[in-house]
A and B are shown apart, each in its own frame.
Chain A
């Protein structure tokens, strides 16, 4: 039974660390499918986490915090959109720029406003998300096998966790079953055709970028309002890049994205668990190897050794209507 409990514990923390990855990777899915590459997921998440932490600390309301996170993240997305859609600048360069601007300003502003070494004040229970307990979760806790799975794995997460997992089929539905989704995917493959059909490529791409901003806002709010009680400087710690890796690893498909995020989250949870403990059959695995594994897997995948990841055809190319 102890082994089973360990597995449930690992899976539980897998879900906890996968949620921001799912939000961010789905965010990336929307822009990249529309042909706008986004390296700035990390920065948008960080900016959103800071806005959420700061506003929730001042107002004491978790929803205002979430709104602030989404607002800041959408604004940053619009900067990226303005640079890469309207000004036809390099999308990569713009994303890199946003990451740096946010990394610096969250520390400077946080220190100037709160003077707690780049943190925002610790949040009270009202100002952060609470875990949701499903009906009968306590009652069935002691039932073998089913009990721990229901009460620890399925019940007892933050509301945002369920939102994240519901967003996966929702994103699939939007992208594959709505007119907007069809056009969005078309604009990432062949913007000329979309333009010929009389649909504005610019406006479509802006809408995709705004979707990305909203989702990154959720990712950031989850970090500072749910996972921890307040913002800590640099709290995204490369999660935006892992999400980017997951997006590529999933070959730009919603359900695959969830799987990839869960896999990378699992590796993360396992790495924490295994610190100092040897693995059966393999022996001691350096923690650093486990931490690097998502990146290594993505490199191997990108090289075409496990299937082939083919990015949207018009990705990274600014659209010029007429020459």
Chain B
């Protein structure tokens, strides 16, 4: 009886309520645009045009979406076990080491399809490693995973500054980045996928890691709803005491879940490093780990929700650049506001409109009892 709210039909629970929350978040964002003295409708037009107007734009939108699918899945997996992993940002950052090492080692001698699997393993391993400690500390020492992962984000960023300025930087170079990878460290673009729809990918760095992201989404669905571990995770997330009573090993699950979550975050590094810049730069994650929180909340931690949510945020990132070009007073920081509003309304305030919607259903149900029963 922990849920004080009336039960709603599934379509309202998974469709209507997230939609209402999202609309409210965008309405508030529109208010900010008004406050700046611009027309929100025009901004929306520029955004949608900038995100989908041409094949190249769509390529960019999907490139960003790829990143957000990984980080969204990372946060979602942890959510299912009742853990809040704010550390996807740092885990993705550290995951970059795995990608960079694989590329620096083999890019001159091997083709990309040999380097890519190694980079996948490397990025996932480094990401998982960075999540292992917070997970282990929560499981064994009782320190809260939220606080430790925040701390680990900062530690990761200091560590990466050190590595990129002292260790991984080529001799004689001033810029804090690795050398540019040769052909073996560059992922092929998915131009053929877009040309099926008659679109030209142009300069957009839309690459094969998108397919890996879709695969990862499917993998997460299998993990959570079709495996024993997934069942244990969900039980623990729903009721830790029930999980304990059923003899599930909480400590073990916590550590494994955090490592899976960190591994997924680490995979994100493949997209910008091997797919776009062909080198590891300072700050290549650019807040994608935090976008993952918004994506996971909006997608209700289900892969089928995360993919559209990631595409929506990809649209915001790509379309946001277009708005910034057309309306100079609205820079890309607008996205950060929208991201915050989505986290607020789809996350912390998710129950704000629930009583009203519930009442609506109750009134509706009295008038049409059959429909309500079928819906329930």
Residues of A within 8 A of B (CB): 39, 79, 82-84, 87-94, 96-105, 107-109, 111-112, 238, 241, 244-245, 248, 286, 288-289, 291-292, 295-296, 298-299, 302-304, 309, 311, 320, 323
- How far is the CB of A105 from the nearest CB of chain B, in Å? 5
Whether A295 pairs with B348 at a CB distance below 8 angstroms is no
Using Cβ atoms and an 8 Å threshold, which residues of chain B touch A96?
86, 290, 293, 340, 343, 347
Whether A92 pairs with B84 at a CB distance below 8 angstroms is yes
Kindly name the residue among B86, B150, B331 whose own CB sees the greatest number of chain A CB atoms within 10 A: B150
Is B142 in contact with chain A by the CB < 8 A criterion? Answer: yes
Whether A88 pairs with B343 at a CB distance below 8 angstroms is no
Using Cβ atoms and an 8 Å threshold, which residues of chain A touch B154?
238, 241, 292, 295
Whether B159 pairs with A101 at a CB distance below 8 angstroms is no
Using Cβ atoms and an 8 Å threshold, which residues of chain B touch A99?
340
Is B312 in contact with chain A by the CB < 8 A criterion? Answer: no
Is B36 in contact with chain A by the CB < 8 A criterion? Answer: yes
Whether B36 pairs with A87 at a CB distance below 8 angstroms is no
Using Cβ atoms and an 8 Å threshold, which residues of chain B touch A303?
137, 141, 143
Kindly name the residue among B36, B290, B349, B352 whose own CB sees the greatest number of chain A CB atoms within 10 A: B349
- How far is the CB of A43 from the nearest CB of chain B, in Å? 8
Contact of A288 among B84, B161, B351 (CB under 8 A): B161
Whether B36 pairs with A84 at a CB distance below 8 angstroms is no
B-side interface residues, number (CB < 8 Å) = 51
Using Cβ atoms and an 8 Å threshold, which residues of chain B touch A298?
147, 151
Using Cβ atoms and an 8 Å threshold, which residues of chain B touch A304?
141-143
Whether B334 pairs with A108 at a CB distance below 8 angstroms is yes
Is B286 in contact with chain A by the CB < 8 A criterion? Answer: no
- How far is the CB of A190 from the nearest CB of chain B, in Å? 19
CA distance A84 to B349 in the complex (A): 8
Closest 4 CB pairs of A and B: A100-B340, A104-B336, A104-B337, A94-B348
- Can you name 11 A-B pairs with beta carbons within 8 Å? A89-B349, A93-B297, A96-B343, A96-B347, A100-B339, A101-B336, A104-B339, A105-B32, A108-B331, A112-B329, A241-B150
Contact of B330 among A90, A108, A302, A320 (CB under 8 A): A108
- How far is the CB of B333 from the nearest CB of chain A, in Å? 4
Given contacts A108-B32, A288-B161, contact A87 B348 (CB under 8 A): yes
CA distance A289 to B163 in the complex (A): 11
A contact face: mostly helix, strand, loop, or mixed: helix
Using Cβ atoms and an 8 Å threshold, which residues of chain A touch B339?
100, 104
Kindly name the residue among B37, B293, B336 whose own CB sees the greatest number of chain A CB atoms within 10 A: B336
CA distance A83 to B344 in the complex (A): 8
CA distance A102 to B340 in the complex (A): 8
Using Cβ atoms and an 8 Å threshold, which residues of chain B touch A100?
290, 336-337, 339-340, 343
Using Cβ atoms and an 8 Å threshold, which residues of chain B touch A89?
347-351
0/1 string, B49-93, CB within 8 A of A gives 1: 000000000000000000000000000000000001010000000
Given contacts A87-B349, A108-B32, contact A93 B343 (CB under 8 A): yes
6 new A-B pairs (CB below 8 Å) besides A99-B340, A238-B154, A292-B159? A91-B348, A104-B339, A107-B333, A295-B155, A302-B147, A323-B1
Tell me how many residue pairs across A and B have CB atoms closer than 8 Å. Answer: 153
Q: Which residue of A lies closest to B163 (CB)?
A: A288
- How far is the CB of B72 from the nearest CB of chain A, in Å? 15
Whether A244 pairs with B150 at a CB distance below 8 angstroms is yes
Whether A87 pairs with B147 at a CB distance below 8 angstroms is no
Interface residues of B in 1-18 (CB under 8 A from A): 1-2, 4
Interface residues of B in 283-332 (CB under 8 A from A): 290, 293, 297, 329-331
Using Cβ atoms and an 8 Å threshold, which residues of chain A touch B142?
304
Using Cβ atoms and an 8 Å threshold, which residues of chain A touch B348?
83-84, 87, 89-91, 93-94, 97
0/1 string, B141-180, CB within 8 A of A gives 1: 1111011101110110011011000100000000000000
CA distance A263 to B154 in the complex (A): 18
Given contacts A39-B150, A104-B334, A112-B329, contact A299 B144 (CB under 8 A): no
Given contacts A87-B352, A93-B347, A248-B147, contact A104 B340 (CB under 8 A): yes
Whether A39 pairs with B155 at a CB distance below 8 angstroms is no
Contact of B158 among A93, A112, A289 (CB under 8 A): A289
Is B370 in contact with chain A by the CB < 8 A criterion? Answer: no
Whether A299 pairs with B297 at a CB distance below 8 angstroms is no
Whether A299 pairs with B148 at a CB distance below 8 angstroms is yes
- How far is the CB of B89 from the nearest CB of chain A, in Å? 11
Whether B151 pairs with A109 at a CB distance below 8 angstroms is no
Is B35 in contact with chain A by the CB < 8 A criterion? Answer: yes
- How far is the CB of A245 from the nearest CB of chain B, in Å? 7
- How far is the CB of A107 from the nearest CB of chain B, in Å? 4
CA distance A128 to B258 in the complex (A): 47
Whether B143 pairs with A109 at a CB distance below 8 angstroms is no
Using Cβ atoms and an 8 Å threshold, which residues of chain B touch A104?
333-340
Given contacts A101-B337, A299-B148, contact A109 B343 (CB under 8 A): no
- How far is the CB of A264 from the nearest CB of chain B, in Å? 12
Using Cβ atoms and an 8 Å threshold, which residues of chain B touch A296?
151, 155
- How far is the CB of B122 from the nearest CB of chain A, in Å? 23
CA distance A309 to B333 in the complex (A): 37
CA distance A109 to B34 in the complex (A): 11
Using Cβ atoms and an 8 Å threshold, which residues of chain A touch B155?
292, 295-296, 299
CA distance A296 to B333 in the complex (A): 30
Whether A323 pairs with B340 at a CB distance below 8 angstroms is no
- How far is the CB of A19 from the nearest CB of chain B, in Å? 21
Is B341 in contact with chain A by the CB < 8 A criterion? Answer: yes
Q: Which residue of B lies closest to A248 (CB)?
A: B147
Contact of A286 among B35, B162, B340 (CB under 8 A): B162
CA distance A93 to B148 in the complex (A): 16
CA distance A92 to B149 in the complex (A): 13
